[in-house]
Amino acid sequence: MTSYLIKGGTVVGPTGAAAADVLVDGETIAAVFAPGRGPEGVETIDATGKYVIPGAVDAHTHMELPFGGTAASDTFDTGTRAAAFGGVTTIIDFAVQRYGEVVQDGLAAWHAKAEGNCHIDYGFHMILGGVTDEALKAMDQLVNDEGIASFKLFMAYPGVFLSDDGQILRAMQKARDNGAMIMMHAENGPAIDVLVKQALERGETDPYYHGVTRPQELEAEATSRAIWLASVAADCPLYIVHLSASKALEQVAAARDTGRNVFAETCPQYLYLTLEDQLGAPGFEGAKWVCSTPLRSKHESHRADLWRGLRTNDLAVVSTDHCPFCMKDQKELGLGDFSKIPNGIGSVEHRVDLLYQGVVDGKLSLARWVETIATTPARMFGMYPRKGIIAPGSDADIVLYDPSGRTRISASTHHMNMDYSAWEGWEIAGKVDTVISRGTVVVQGNEYKGRKGHGRYIRRGLSDYLV
C-alpha cells in the first residue's frame, strides 16, 4: 500500500475540525482534500464517523530507566508497542548521564537500548546528573550533532540526580547560548528528605506518606526558584515537567503573563487521581500510584486548576511520564518503607483516551485535545511540522479515533509490561481505531500489524514554541 486515501472522516488539528480526505503517499502526507475531491482509483481507508488526528507525541517517557534499585519494566520494544496501541506514534525518552559519567556515554547506552527495538519513532532528551565543565561542553555537541536540544535537571533526589542552584544556573546559561530547552523536575529535594526522615521516625511507612512528605509548597518553591534562575540566565527557555499542583501552576502562570519563555506539562494522573483515593488505598495498594511529583489532595482545587491551565495554555502539553514498575518484586521493594518504592506510573497506552474523556466532559475542545497531545509537544521539542499535524509534507503519522467506541482499561488487556493498571476498571468514551506510523498501518481495531524495528530515531531541532 504505497498510496491511499483516508476518506470520509473529520480531520482535527490545533485550529479546529473539518470534514476532509487525506492522501498518503509512502511515508508522508501528500495532500488534504475537501470531501470527495481526492483522486479516484487509489486504495481507500474508510474513516466515516471517525476523527482523523495527528499521531500523538508523548514527550516524557522512561523505558528501562534504572531507578530505586530496579529498572522501569517496559523495554523500548514493549513500551513503544503499547504506545502504538494507544495512538502514540512518537515518544521522546530520557537518556541519562549519571553523576561522574560522560554525557555521550550515557547517550550511547540509550541508543543501544532503543535501536532496532522501537515500533514507533523516538527521540531523546538528556538527563544531566552531573553538571560539570565537560557536561556543559557536551550540551553543545548534543544540540549541534545529535538532535537533542532539551536537557532535564533535577531539584529533587539528592545524591542521585540533584543539581544545586549554581549547577542549574550554569546549565541554563549554556542553554540560553545554544538554544536548548531546560526541563526541570521542580521539587525541593533536600527539604523533602527531611520530611521523609521525620515521617519514617514516627512510623509513618505506608505509601500515603510519600504524598504527605512532598507537599505542594515544595513543588511551588522549586518551580518559582527555577523560573527566577532562568530569568537570571537571560530568559533561558524553561519547561516544568510533571506539574501536579495549584501553587506550582500559579508560579508558571505568573511568569507566562509577563511574556517569559516558561512552559509546563501535566500528566493524566494529576488530572484524575488523588492522594486520598489512590495513594491512600488500604495496605500497600497505594504503592501503585507512587510517583513524583505526587498525587494531590482531592480536598483542594488541583484537578480543576490543572484542567483550566490546559485551556489557558499555562499548561501547554500533556505527557505521561511513563515509568512503569510492577508490584511484584519492584514496588514491593518499599514494603514497610514508602521511600524505597520505585517512583513511577505507566500510562503510555492511555493518554489519548484519558484526555479525550476531557473533551466528552466539556473540559477541553477537540482542537485543544489534539494540540496538547500532539501538536504542541512536536513544536515544543523541534519536530514540527514533520510530526504533530496533518498537512502535506508531514510524516503520515495518523490516528483514526472512534468517538462512539468505548475503552475499558485493565491490566488483563493492556499491552504495557506491568502486572497492574493504575486505571483498572476505568471505562471511558472513545477508542483508538486505526494507527498509522509513517504510512504503515500498525494498529487496526484490536489487532497489531506493526513490527519491532519500524521506529526510527528522530533528530530534533530547536523549539519553535518560544516567544
Q: Given the rule CB under 6 A, which residues bind ligand URP?
A: 62, 185, 242, 291-292, 321, 323, 343-344
330 binding partner (options ligand URP, Zn ion, none; Cβ < 5 to 8 Å by kind): none
Q: How far is the CB of 206 from Zn ion (least distance, A)?
A: 23
What are the CA-CA distances from residue 127 to residues 28, 231, 334 (Å)?
32, 21, 25
For Zn ion, which is the closer residue by CB, 185 or 210? 185
- Phi, psi dihedral angles at 140 (to 5 degrees): -60, -45
For Zn ion, which is the closer residue by CB, 253 or 341? 253
224 binding partner (options Zn ion, ligand URP, none; Cβ < 5 to 8 Å by kind): none
Q: Which three cell numbers stand for residue 261?
A: 519563555
Q: How far is the CB of 161 from ligand URP (least distance, A)?
A: 8
Closest C-alpha among 349, 384, 365, 355 to residue 462? 384
Residues 305-324 that bind Zn ion (CB under 5 A): 321
368 binding partner (options Zn ion, ligand URP, none; Cβ < 5 to 8 Å by kind): none
CA distance from start to end of the chain: 41
The full DSSP string for 53-76 is: EEPEEEEEE-TT-EETTEE-S--H
For Zn ion, which is the closer residue by CB, 45 or 92? 92
Q: How far is the CB of 405 from ligand URP (least distance, A)?
A: 30
For Zn ion, which is the closer residue by CB, 92 or 180? 92
For ligand URP, which is the closer residue by CB, 70 or 141? 70
253 binding partner (options ligand URP, Zn ion, none; Cβ < 5 to 8 Å by kind): Zn ion
Q: How far is the CB of 263 from Zn ion (least distance, A)?
A: 12
Q: How far is the CB of 289 from ligand URP (least distance, A)?
A: 10
Closest C-alpha among 63, 182, 83 to residue 126? 182
For Zn ion, which is the closer residue by CB, 319 or 417? 319
Q: By beta-carbon distance, which residue lies closest to ligand URP?
A: 343
Residues 257-276 that bind Zn ion (CB under 5 A): 257
How many angstroms separate the CA atoms of 461 and 223, rounded?
Answer: 26
Beta carbons of 63 and 117 less than 8 angstroms apart: no
343 binding partner (options Zn ion, ligand URP, none; Cβ < 5 to 8 Å by kind): ligand URP
For Zn ion, which is the closer residue by CB, 242 or 414? 242
**Burial of residue 166 (number of CB atoms within 10 Å: 0-12, 13-18, 19+):** exposed
Closest C-alpha among 126, 134, 184 to residue 157? 184
Q: Does the footprint of Zn ion cover residue 185 (CB under 5 A)?
A: yes
For Zn ion, which is the closer residue by CB, 142 or 162? 162
**Burial of residue 332 (number of CB atoms within 10 Å: 0-12, 13-18, 19+):** middle
How many angstroms separate the CA atoms of 55 and 39, rounded?
Answer: 24
Given 253, 317, 436, 458, the residue binding Zn ion (CB under 5 A): 253
Q: By beta-carbon distance, which residue lies closest to Zn ion?
A: 185
The owner of cell 560522560 is 102
Q: Is 435 helix (H, G, I), strand (E, B) or coil?
A: strand
By CB under 5 A, the count of residues binding Zn ion is 4
63 binding partner (options ligand URP, Zn ion, none; Cβ < 5 to 8 Å by kind): none
Beta carbons of 378 and 34 less than 8 angstroms apart: no
Q: Site residues (CB under 5 A) for Zn ion?
A: 185, 253, 257, 321
